[in-house]
Chains A and B, each alone.
Chain A
Amino acid sequence: EAGVAQSPRYKIIEKRQSVAFWCNPISGHATLYWYQQILGQGPKLLIQFQNNGVVDDSQLPKDRFSAERLKGVDSTLKIQPAKLEDSAVYLCASSLGDREGETQYFGPGTRLLVL
Chain B
Amino acid sequence: EDQVTQSPEALRLQEGESSSLNCSYTVSGLRGLFWYRQDPGKGPEFLFTLYSAGEEKEKERLKATLTKKESFLHITAPKPEDSATYLCAVRGSSYKLIFGSGTRLLVRP
Contact = CB atoms under 8 A, between A and B. Distances in A.
A-B interaction: yes
Chain A contact patch, size range: 20 to 34
Interface residues of B, number: 23
A103 B49 contact: yes
A100 B90 CA distance: 11
A107 B64 CA distance: 24
Interface stretch (B12-20, B68-76, B94-102): B94-102
A101 B30 CA distance: 9
A86 interface: no
A91 B42 CA distance: 9
Interface in B73-105: 87, 89, 91, 95-97, 99-102
B99 A44 contact: yes
B109 interface: no
A72 interface: no
Interface string B19-53: 00000000000011010100001111110010100
Given A101-B91, A104-B46, 16 more contacts: A43-B44, A43-B87, A44-B99, A45-B97, A91-B44, A100-B31, A100-B91, A101-B31, A103-B34, A103-B46, A103-B49, A106-B45, A107-B43, A108-B41, A108-B43, A111-B41
